[in-house]
Amino acid sequence: MVTPPSDRVRLRRKPERGHYERATVEAIVDAAIVGHVGFVVDDQPYVIPTAIWRQGDRLYWHGSSASRMVRATADARVCITVSRIDALVLARSATDHSVDYRSAVILGTAHIVVDEAEKLEALEAFVERLYPGRWATLRPTRPAELKATTVLWTELSEASAKIRDIGAHDEPGDETWPAWAGTMPLTTVIGDPVPDAFVPDGMAAPPVTLEASG
């Protein structure tokens, strides 16, 4: 097992499920659309869901420049969590029901992207990760829109992943109990595009890049 980058992200409960390789953490982050940003304001913890994306060894998110999350996290310590449910796990006892999942916890300091060119580059990466080629087709971002948006990032250097992928598990002797046991996989499916009233007839929807499962 790879040594955890810090004792703060070391798994203590079910340590055999812990993974500290950077590639594993990055794969979980890249498979997610939403992360939860945890921070503290006046001794009160808050956890806010927001869209996330990765560029190299940085994890990015954005928000309104007037939002409490942005004001509270700038140059502050944050905890960002990402989770993906891969399957419901049914056992022959209520206690042994579970889920198969992939999750990651990232600790770091939130930094604001100040340079406008760098901010635009980050926002382009945000759009392009889901809709390849779409940025070039969009109306250019207006200065007022860029000013109203804050982009933040933190390094992925202090992170850990936790994965359960073992399926159903019964206590010894429960195997003969007359109840169904196994897994029910969960998948994410992109539905048929629904154009708004102003899309010209015959214009195709853009392609979407999204992991098929989890």
For 78-97, the pLDDT digits (tens) are 999 999 999 999 999 999 99
Annotate 73-88 with b (16+ C-beta within 10 A) or e (fewer). beeeebbbebbbebbe
The SS3 assignment for 4 reads coil
CB 95 within 8 Å of CB 188? no
pTM above 0.75? Answer: yes
Domains of the chain: 7-185 (2.30.110.10)
Query: What letter represents residue 88's amino acid?
Result: L
Q: What is the pLDDT of residues 17-54, one digit of tens each?
A: 989 999 999 999 999 999 999 999 999 999 999 999 99
- Please classify residue 193 by burial: count the beta carbons closer than 10 Å to its beta carbon, then call 0-12 exposed, 13-18 middle and 19+ buried: exposed
CA distance 131 to 102: 24
- Supply the DSSP symbol for 66: T
